[in-house]
């Protein structure tokens, strides 16, 4: 396996037999948490930028190996999932952070799988951009819902 294909499949995560995109998103959560823990306020934006660039870098190798918009390619899920948490907001308390991560994960998977509100149209863009763009919009929608939920929760307390 070449390095670009390894990166695009998140080192084989995309080769898991059932729901590779879900596994890719799930395996991104510890990276998100660690990024915020070790580099507060900058870690997640840096992780997002890295996933964005690595997705563009490795997508062509995955398309060559598996075909157009392959399920095995999960680096786009890493970029989209990290975008959900771009503002951080972790309290570094176990219960609160696990709930935040799970809720953000579920929101992202909802928008990524069902592809509402124009998300489905973006995957029709050509090449690497088409593979990545739908996940980024799914991440934006999940981010808006997560931040809106946090705001409502804090307001109603």
Domain boundaries in the chain? 3-156
Q: DSSP labels for 42-77?
A: THHHHHHHHHHHHHHHHHHHHHHHH-SS-TT--HHH
**pLDDT, position 110:** 98
pLDDT digits (tens, 9 = 90+) for 18-72: 999 999 999 999 999 999 999 999 999 999 999 999 999 999 999 999 988 899 9
pLDDT tens per residue across span 17-33: 899 999 999 999 999 99
Query: What is residue 127's predicted lDDT score, i.e. its pLDDT?
Result: 85
User: CA-CA distance, 124 to 122, in Å (whole number)?
Assistant: 5
The larger pLDDT score, comparing residue 93 to residue 133, is at 133
**Residues 37, 94: contact at Cβ < 8 Å?**
no
For residue 8, the model assigns a pLDDT of: 96
pLDDT, tens digit (0-9, with 9 covering 90-100), for 102-154: 999 999 999 999 999 999 999 889 888 999 999 999 999 999 999 999 999 88
Residue 134: exposed, middle, or buried by beta-carbon count in 10 A (0-12, 13-18, 19+)? buried
Find all residues with CB under 8 Å of 96, minimum gap 6, and list them.
Answer: 90
> Is residue 157 very low, low, confident or very high in pLDDT (cuts 50, 70, 90)?
confident
How far is the C-alpha of 125 from the C-alpha of 58, rounded, in Å? Answer: 17
* Cα gap 114→21, rounded to integer Å: 13
Closest CA relative to residue 50, chosen from 71, 66, 38, 32: 32
Residue pair 55/132 in contact by the 8 Å Cβ criterion: yes
């Amino acid at each position: 396996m070449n390095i670009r294909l390894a990166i695009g499949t998140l080192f084989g995560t995309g080769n898991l037999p059932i729901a590779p995109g879900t596994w890719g998103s799930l395996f991104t959560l510890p990276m998100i948490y660690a990024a915020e823990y070790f580099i507060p306020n900058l870690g997640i934006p840096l992780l997002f930028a890295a996933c964005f660039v690595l997705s563009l870098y490795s997508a062509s190798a995955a398309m060559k190996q598996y075909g157009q918009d392959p399920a095995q390619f999960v680096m786009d899920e890493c970029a989209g999932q990290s975008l959900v948490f771009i503002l951080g907001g972790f309290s570094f308390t176990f219960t609160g952070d696990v709930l935040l991560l799970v809720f953000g994960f579920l929101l992202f998977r909802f928008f990524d799988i069902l592809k509402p509100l124009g998300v489905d149209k973006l995957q029709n863009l050509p090449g690497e951009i088409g593979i990545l763009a739908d996940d980024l919009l799914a991440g934006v929608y999940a981010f808006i819902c997560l931040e809106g939920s946090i705001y409502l929760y804090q307001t109603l307390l």
